[in-house]
Structure 1
Amino acid sequence: MKNNIRIILRSIGVLVLMITLFCYAMFQGGFVSWFLFYGYLPIGIYQLLFALYPLRTWKVYREIENPVYQAGDDMVVNIHIKRKLPFPLLYCTFEEKFPSSLMKEDTKKEKYFSSQPSGKMAVSRKLIRMLFPLFRRHFTFSYSVQSLPRGEHILDTVTIQTGEIFGFIKKSRDFPIENKCMVYPYEHKIRLISDTASYEQGGVISNQLQQLNTTIASGSREYAPGDRFAWIDWKQTARRQTMMTKEFDREKSVDILLVHDNFMNEKEHPLLYEASIEMSLSLVQELATKSNETSFLSIGDSAHVFEAGHHAQQLEIIKRYLLTASQEEQGSFSLRFREEMAHFNQADIIFLLITSVDTYLIQAIQEAKQRMKHFSIIYIHPEKHLSEEEKHLLEPLYFSGIAVQELSLEQLGTDPVEVIFK
């Protein structure tokens, strides 16, 4: 409204100036006075026509080349502007209104080597592009948003501003255009190192989470090209007078529960939470490739439980949760962890991903370990080495036979990340 009033007042000023020059030329006469009038006449007419020219008839389209990204990727955006009347415009400015969710940056692994001691990801994004439409009805351009942060981002408004040649009258209009893009967490390459496997008969030691059992035969079948010579069942071959080979059972899928701490610690490094989100998704994806039945539990003020599965739909549900997950400031993880573990007694392996540790959490872990077959912990910390206080807190876990793997942020900057299951 204020902008419209300003345009009306300035248009009246232009009209008054034209009338004034005309009156001056009529009464004064002479070459100079008429030169001033005729010299300003086309400019004044253009200014009045510009004041009447409607920006609301413009059509602005935003096109995102790919609506799905991974954190740290660059997004390319194409802008198309169309107008009906080829009214001459010397210039116009295009401004993209970025949402607050994009006021961060993620540089994938490089962020863990950031020179900023705080490790903050905050950044100020602003895009203003100068365009020169002249008589064109349709013009287009592209821009890129670099180092996308994790989350669901909605671009909903652009602003176009233009003015006449002297800048006496300016026009501006916001165009509501909604485009959405989803940026999933960065996925680390994971190297699983496990010495735990499970057969139907009981627990044994193995080098993989799931592998072919070549020591326990479940039956025999006819020989097929590619079968090993050592697998030939000579007794069945002699009995049936045809080449027979042993058939082996595969190990059953190991049921794994991955637990994620969604609470905020007062002294926590800003990058630790993003690291825990990235590692959660990376582990779920890697375990899915091993055909393990993996459940995911994110513990905050309310628990988010995703039941066991390794099919695409289950993975997509977990990814959608991690896409927009945010830390909860109020609450105790150790207390909530103890409450939730009372409901999980079926998992073969409990895998706990934490970024802070205290005495109460250590006690809750020891209690949970008594009811579980195997318990592994990944403790992500900001410094290269643990402090003496952290070492003292973790000592009871070592004596309890719980596997504790310490991962610094610097280690997360180098792929692949080795994860040990015991």
Structure 2
Amino acid sequence: MAGNEYEFCPSTNSAYDSAGCVRTRSSFDATRAKDDVSVPAEGAWRLRVAHRDAAANTDLANSTSPGPLRFDATPPSGEFEPFDPRDPSRIWLRASDATSGVARVEIEARSDGETAWHTLKVDGDAGSYSAVLDDALYPRGSYEVRARVFDRAENERSIMQTAQGTPLRVALPVRVETRMDAGRATKIRTNKRGKPKYKQVLDARPVVAFGRTTTVSGKVTDPAGNPRAGVVVDVLERVDAPARPWQAIGTVQTNAAGMFTFKVSKGASWTLRFSYGGSPTTQPASKEVELRVRAAATIAPDRRVRRNGDEVVFRGRVRSGPVPEAGKLVTLQALTRRGWTTFGNARARAKDGRWSYRYRFTGTTVRSRYTFRVVVPAESGYPYARGASKTTRVIVNP
């Protein structure tokens, strides 16, 4: 074998199409036993190789082909596109690569004074790409933006400019702020003298009685107070107990005035989170309402009339369950001239919430009527606020 005949043809050519084909040859001697050849230019090529003998015989029709060859030495090209006022937080990029095509796109942002770039999630293909610089996630300030475009040959180009040649910078926030207020509607007095005047406010930490439903109201507006009408607000709850997760319990929609209401079922103390997810032009907002439910309990004496020196057994039940496994401390109080005074403690059982306490009357010299109650104090792990029973009375004769 005296050498090789090579024919490079564009990969798009048909089997017998020689348009654009480039031929080259090589010769062997005692010092050269192999060839080094390169494709004629960037692009995709199909190579055919035929051997040539010493008599110069060769036949490309009977050649062999090592498979397609691709050569791309030019990085991709691209530019940032103008912002869409209907989606101002979205960054748009036009990118292409004429030879091997775009393999992937990375879009990053960093605020002034930072050295680290934040990678944004990129959507799109076929030359048009975008990413959201979320002004609810990133702090307010000025951000520079860059794109890194890679082709299939791993050539890379960094893009930081628009079509006009100016660096792309974004000042956050770009969307209109949203304000949300929520709570149980209640009236407060606004004047101290004269005829009472009241205004309605939303209490974000209301205290409610055990076993009653409660209505929570709210409003979604822009900074000027204009209503966000017809927007959906997600409602989540978390029971006031250790390791309890947030759970989605429903959605509400604002009316023409931006108002919404949500009825909370009876139960333990909750924290409610009302969350508006925002829109392409408006920021999200959320508000938490801590709904504290008073603990409930009963108290009754085994006798209503006793003599001085006799004992009375108070019994009752903690109604606001579940009661912790270790039981629930309750405090017994008597009404005196100085107010309610604690005279004993008992522990309610976990299985049924029942408790009892034995008390002896001493020092009663005249017929007296005593008033008692039981208080259920707040406690870690018990999802209720401090509550008290109705009062009960015992008459003690000297």
Give the TM-score normalised by the residue count of structure 2.
0.27
Higher helix content, 1 or 2 = 1
Higher relative contact order (CA 8 A, sep 6+): 1
Give the TM-score normalised by the residue count of structure 1.
0.26
User: Max radius of gyration: which structure?
Assistant: 2
